[in-house]
Chain A
């Protein structure tokens, strides 16, 4: 076999796969068709606009740089691929006061504002697709969700029910300052009388990002398969 034929052979075998699984899907998915929602009663048509609030871009960079994706995933798989939907609070809130069961699978609009979807490689910790929801509705119920997350990041094992957590402490994302005058609004409830521990710029971006991880916007039926959510025994 000559070198020329060899290279042609490689180009044919590798090139086909390269085009079919990398290049064409990449450029096709760059421009997704908008989802049109038809309101039959009012006779109007509108385009579904996914919403997400928070410091998504820079928070996502902090999430990436500190390797959160090594232990946490961000995907609620459909039931054909895993049992994520059955976990009580992964896909959403099972007993939302207004909308009932809001659990749903991940859809392609869930990652808007991010450059790279941190789908993750390992679930040593729980899935974070709806961690914002969980903090607001469960962990910090009635309290300040932002402060709950700061305290968790500072010492994940502080609360008695979280003694088993293996999440590393992110103390390095906090600044320790001598207390002058009034305590900062964001100062943690730990440490010395004369010191205050304040979240750094990175920690604030990260917490804002984590709180943006909540899939609580109602989605059009095209995106909401909800296979188990409506059943009574689910």
Chain B
């Protein structure tokens, strides 16, 4: 059985409705607070990008300096938005796939508030000048135990649900989610304990920090997004996964390759020579799990072109999967020691790669999941296809610009940095046009997420449409009203209308 679509019976429908009802508040809490952090993060990203080409912009007080705004931007993106979207996806998907209602809503909500408190205090710590200076770990020391404890209190129930699942086959999404649940605390504890509590060599500390950043992308955000995509694509198209053995190959190759990646960022520093080379090799090999999963998912989805056109879930998810393919290629071409690595090591390319992974791939799949999950847990349909469409197009336009400009601009910048016969200032001015473009592109992403956040908030307030018909794209807004045509959406699991 390679599909999350078992034959539907009345008992199944009741069970699913029960699971959705039990998870309504935690899921909506994580999604709305995550979306709010996303908006904060994008504003901070815009401001910091603006400061790169216009250093007198918002100049003056310490908390507005570039060196604090930028870490606040990336940390709110990762821990404010990324993790909370992942929490919502993990708890909902795991409950559905393990066929159990959530019995720990109170604990999860409390822990969710604690997580938000940790992130808020961490951001205040960075802005007030208490940042640690370790990229992606800039939150002051007190934040990480709070975050680790609340993380465990949020996801441990999903682990238990998996253990208590009914006997039978386990679906690929569950492996991905379970692995992410286990990998993250392992990575997080290792990095924080070694960097904060054990005195080691300062360079090795920097190496472990680079490994942590890479592991966060490849061993937390990637498996969560792939777990969600492996659920959503077959569910929306109503088809089994193209090849289940390819899916397993994708999973185990990720598990075997990704933990070695990361230290290529330190090539040329006097750490043991094999570390950067192993890091580069593993990052290049990330191409295999990326393309295995992407090919499998795309093959599953394109069997029916029509669904692609009207399902917002599928559209966002597949856009994310296409970004994964690009990420796989970028991992190969940007990390070749001796040719490209020297140009990408200290250029804008690093940021482009991170945004490609975190926004174009992970966040797009999460948006796809959100457009699928929220109507089910709120028992309301999305209000406006126009909002969804704007969210999609502005986001995709913005993120393509940010990621590609940073990737290619970074290569140009890197080439100029390597050109030692020219004065250094040329390498700097070379990057300005790209930085300006990044500022403009973030504006598009900001506008798109304004629509998204507003839409989501309305849904949480249960102001969505009461309808048996999902909100679909590619049609006029009214064509799919409660009285509109029906029929094509049979494969999309539709919640019963509220009473």
- The chain A residues found within 8 Å of chain B, CB to CB, are 1, 3, 6-7, 9-10, 13-14, 16-18, 20-23, 25-30, 32, 60-61, 63-71, 73, 75, 77-78, 80-84, 86-87, 105-108, 111, 114-126, 156-157, 164-173, 202
Contacts and interface: CB of A to CB of B under 8 A. Distances in A.
A25 B429 contact: no
B194 to A, nearest CB: 6
Given A26-B200, A29-B271, A168 B59 contact: yes
B265 to A, nearest CB: 8
A81 B270 CA distance: 11
Given A30-B199, A87-B420, A25 B65 contact: no
Interface stretch (B252-260, B300-308, B439-447): B252-260
Given A81-B342, A118-B133, A172-B65, 7 more contacts: A3-B163, A21-B260, A26-B200, A29-B200, A86-B420, A116-B209, A123-B347
B195 interface: yes
Nearest to A126: B424
A14 B346 contact: no
A122 B134 contact: no
A168 to B, nearest CB: 5
A25 B269 contact: no
A122 B347 contact: yes
Interface in B48-100: 51-53, 55-56, 59-62, 65-68, 70-71
A87 B424 contact: yes
B461 interface: no
B255 A29 contact: no
Main secondary structure of the interface of B (DSSP, over half): helix
A67 B133 contact: yes
Given A22-B190, A67-B65, A29 B59 contact: no
Interface residues of B, number: 87
Contacts of A64: 131-134
Interface stretch (B35-43, B144-152, B178-186, B310-318): B178-186
A70 B67 contact: yes
A25 B271 contact: yes
Contact of A121 (B68, B135, B429): B135
Ranked 3 nearest A-B pairs via Cβ: A64-B133, A67-B67, A77-B268
B424 A167 contact: no
Contact of B60 (A82, A171, A202): A171
Contact of B207 (A14, A25, A111, A168): A25
Given A64-B131, A67-B70, A22 B271 contact: no
A81 B345 CA distance: 10
Contacts of A3: 162-163, 178
A173 B279 CA distance: 38
A176 B69 CA distance: 24
A67 B71 contact: yes
Interface in B440-482: none
A230 B345 CA distance: 27
Given A18-B186, A25-B207, A106-B269, A13 B133 contact: no
Contacts of A121: 135, 265, 346, 350
A66 B265 CA distance: 22
B65 A1 contact: no
Interface of B: 51-53, 55-56, 59-62, 65-68, 70-71, 129-135, 162-163, 170, 175, 178-179, 182-183, 186, 190, 194-195, 198-209, 211, 219, 252, 255-256, 259-260, 262-263, 265-272, 275, 278-279, 282, 337-338, 341-342, 345-348, 350-351, 417-420, 424-425, 427-429, 431
14 contacts: A14-B219, A14-B259, A25-B275, A66-B65, A81-B268, A82-B342, A87-B420, A111-B201, A125-B428, A126-B424, A164-B429, A166-B52, A170-B65, A171-B60
B67 A26 contact: no
Contacts of A111: 201-203
Contacts of B252: 9, 13
Given A13-B252, A22-B211, A116 B205 contact: yes
A123 B424 CA distance: 10
A173 B337 CA distance: 40
B186 A30 contact: no
Contacts of B134: 64, 116
B60 A116 contact: no
A84 B418 CA distance: 8
Given A13-B255, A14-B186, A117-B202, A82 B275 contact: no
A69 B135 contact: yes
A30 B204 CA distance: 9
Given A119-B269, A125-B428, A167-B55, A172 B61 contact: yes
B68 A67 contact: yes
Nearest to A86: B420
A20 B279 CA distance: 11
A26 B268 CA distance: 18
A73 to B, nearest CB: 5
Contact of B204 (A16, A26, A71): A26
